[in-house]
Amino acid sequence: MQFEPPAAAKPEFLDIGAGSHARRIAFLRRVAAAGCDCAGLVWLGGFRSNMRGEKASYLERAAAAAGRACLRFDYSGHGESEGAFERSTIGMWLEESLEAFRALTEGPQILVGSSMGGWLALLVARTLAESGEGARLAGLVLIAPAVDMTEKLIFEQMTRKARAELERKGVWLRASPYEAEPHPIRREFIEEGRSHLLFGATIRSHCPVHILQGMRDEAVPWRHALALVEHLHGDPVTLTLIKDGDHRLSRPEDLARIGAAVEGMDDHRLDKPRALV
């Protein structure tokens, strides 16, 4: 039997929202192997990234090798999903993350969130705990988590000129070291993001957290990760600082660290029997 390579796998689609807010998001899903009791993986990508990136593809291969279930999807306005990026908001992407989690996964899951996906993972965890679904989370692996990104890493870093342009035109073109063309930041994107801010109060994950952070990260400074650890003082947290790591953390050694963090989450599972020592 011939198998398609992961990069060529055809996406499925999930319908979310109604009326003018209806959109279809693309996803790739691997089901768990028979008899596998490992937690599944749910990939939450970064700002303007897609589900076929290096880290997401690595996790899919690692899941396949371990027999784990694995879910990857593109937010609206990203990758192969419908929607206009410039009209999307954090709230929309949170809604999509929750709907994909609830509709497309079963049993305990490990959320692996990269950059903006790290912020969304914490928002998903909070919502699941509030709705009595917290037991569905086996852990969070956060890669350079851009918590409160719209405020802390975009708006507060803007120059006076950029803020004036945003106020006057309703949009500001933000340059990126990872893309040739600047991308639009709308005033509504910043304002809507303020309803999802986490800093300023205790942040609860309600499950173990492992944060991986490069110290040469120019997009999410490593001290941002330290601030997150301080706010997560009610839950078990491991922080791995990678001295020569950048924002992407996509080198072979970085991918191996991410894989090890995922595997380590199985040691924290409360629903699995433990050997007496």
Residue numbers annotated as active site: 115, 217, 247
| Structure token pair of residue 10 | 């055809």
CA gap 221, 237 in Å, rounded: 18
CA gap 71, 137 in Å, rounded: 14
Q: Distance between alpha carbon 224 and the CA centroid of its chain, in Å? A: 16
| Those residues with Cβ within 8 angstroms of residue 74's Cβ, 6 or more apart along the chain or in another chain | 11, 25, 26, 27, 45, 50, 51, 80, 81
Whether residue 275 contacts residue 246, with contact meaning beta carbons closer than 8 Å, is answered with no
Q: Hey, CA dihedral for 234, 211, 231, 206, is it positive or negative?
A: negative
| Those residues with Cβ within 8 angstroms of residue 202's Cβ, 6 or more apart along the chain or in another chain | 231, 232, 233, 234
Calculate the dihedral angle through the C-alpha atoms of 73, 252, 205, 186, rounding to the nearest 10 degrees.
Answer: -50
**198 HSE (CA, 13 A, CB side):** 28
CA-atom Rg of the chain in angstroms? 18
Whether residue 74 contacts residue 51, with contact meaning beta carbons closer than 8 Å, is answered with yes
Q: Hey, CA dihedral for 120, 125, 131, 136, is it positive or negative?
A: positive
